[in-house]
Chains A and B, each alone.
Chain A
Amino acid sequence: MSGTEKTRTGAEALVQCLENHGVEYIFGLSGGAAIPIFDALVDSKIKLILVRHEQGATHMADGYARATGRPGVVLVTSGPGATNTVTGIMTAKMDSVPMIVLTGQTPTFVLGKDAFQEADILGITLPIVKHSYLVKQSNDIPRIVNEAFHITNTGRPGPVLIDLPKDITSGVCTAALDSPMDLPGYPEEAKLDQAGILKMAELLNQSQRPLLLIGHGAVIARAGKAVVKLAEKLNSPVTNTLLGKGAFPETHCLSVGMLGMHGTAYANKALTRCDLIFSIGSRWDDRINGDTKKFCVGAKRLHVDIDPAEIGKILSPDAYAIGDARKIIEELVKHVKPLDTKDWIKELNGYKKKYPLKYKKQGGLKAQHVIDEMYKVTKGKVIVTTDVGQHQMWAAQFFLIDEPDTWLTSGGAGTMGYGFPAAIGAQFGCPDKTVVAIVGDGGFQMTLSELATAVIHKLHLKVLIIDNKYLGMVRQWQELFFDNRLSGVDLKGNPDFVKLAEAYGAKAFRIKRSADVRKVLTKAMEYNDGPCVIHAEVIKEDNVFPMIPAGKSAYDMIIEKPKKRMEKPTGST
């Protein structure tokens, strides 16, 4: 640095580092301890998106990251500002999303003294971050930011939190912006595990009824094309997890769609019949594997994951390779041979015919109908985000996804309130695409204040509210497993979402009748002057099927509501 150059504050160094890392947007909400950073942003080309609640900022950063593959950046103040990011950080951690969370902090000389708006956010978030820092020297800022960007989006991605005391951001930083990283414990990318790959190829080549199981890892690793090649060479059917949607085209003839608790019947039937199951970036999670003892009984298990801790965590594989899914599959393709799977595919096509996903258009407005029409009207060529609950499962069933990074949903964490702000983030990241948030009336009300954010920036996103005036998924469980003793699920007092949207200055549409669905959705999609909200008032009591009760296996799948009362589930929620 030349002697004439202006002295940099820690905050200015921070902002310049962010610029150097290609940050376009920061999603944030200001506050006392973060003022120096907000001040430095005034002179930056980075656009600050002011949110209405910090949770919204984290989900926006998350949606931005999932839609673009680049880390989302959040900036909040200390104390409550920081604690409001906890849900969003946990959501990103559970789904391996790259995110940098910058939190203002009270000055170092009062740390630990219960100063105004002091919260030990580093301590609070320890179990839900990939890594975190409390910066104690202004000169450490460039190194830490460089490390954070490296950590958040290499290996298995995850959120990194940087806690920045006010005296550190106000203090002078003379360190070079490209200060080298000091990460002796952080692994370099591993070499291709050739032996593991050959072992997997050998088992695949012996299989008669293989099934590829595609998870989020395949999306993150951009492994889609390689997986298509593998599946087509093997003639192997493919199923995907909720988060794996998009890695392998769901409209492909080899796809049996999503498996798991509310997956398609044919995907779950395939689980019970395959002689080999090959997880590519899925972690055998309890939504697809309620009972590990009865998961694909007798089938060989193959596993590709970038995280060594996932190998054998839930199920021990017969062969595995640790590393980048795309590179591993590209190598694996060379070693497999075409299999004769005609009978196997014929069997699965039989299940497709026998147990199709279906709904009735009569008898009131159905959520499935609205979502299915949305899929048809948009021809699937949009980015879809969802909230969590029944509408999420119906969206997963009826909104088929062919392209990676166009399906954003909170899977691991199951965070209600995620869908709408995630759509805002995705829309900022992908201005040329249309983003559709499919949300429930419950989840939407958790983060709807971000309507202001969407309106101010004239984002042309659509919010489709599936309003059944219930916390529907819990109501379904209570109906099926708890003698219909409804408790804490009635959302009596919901606002008129059309009026609410209009109060924020957004365009709004309403759907009440099945006959209007296509007409209204078409009109809503044509509207292009800012956000629009579509309030679909669907029938109150409908259930998501097929269903595998928690703690059960695919062998116990139910296609429709049983006449007999069901046992209380033993598995996790």
Chain B
Amino acid sequence: MTAETRPLRPAHPLESWEPAFAALTREVAAQGGDLVLEPAPQARATDLRLDPAGPARPAVAAALGAGLPTHPNTWTATDDGEIVWLGPDEWLVTSRYARPDAAEPALRPLVAGHGGAAVDVTGQRVALRLRGRLARELLALGCALDLHPSAFPGGHCAQTLLGQAGVLLLALGDGDDYLIHVRSSFAGYLAEWLLDAATEFRGAAPAAGT
């Protein structure tokens, strides 16, 4: 048996869903709607725990290039990612360009001496991006939160339930652009749920093969 050599490349866990996502966008557009569902690039993620009133905070903010959001359920942008509020002493730091082995070691020395922790959680979540005019309407079918821009504007985030899956929802724009972080093992379920929930936006023809 001859060994086939293929170049290794990073694959998104939901890559195999992309044709189904593209078909959704196409069929919704044919109905005059606007809905784009796509896998978001896998970012390096670090779970950061630290005392919000402690001495480590300025150094962390300097290292990340942005302050840690203090207001519950908000996120701030950094050069290549986000800092997301997860709890009063917990944040999720994402970075699209950090080396796989760099994010955690960069933060850990800053917080370790002050009772904090930085743990790499890159494999924990999978990200999906949902945008377009119908995005909010689609989310409303499975999420109890008020996602109207007056209550959930850009810069807000929420850990909540979408369908039966726990998600971390980030508002990138005002009401039409969302990033959905979901636990890896729930990613397939959520992709299936979103496609199913979007059936009503596709028009009369039943969706084949999804």
Answer yes or no: are A and B bound together in one complex. Answer: no
Q: Which residues of A contact B (CB under 8 A)?
A: none
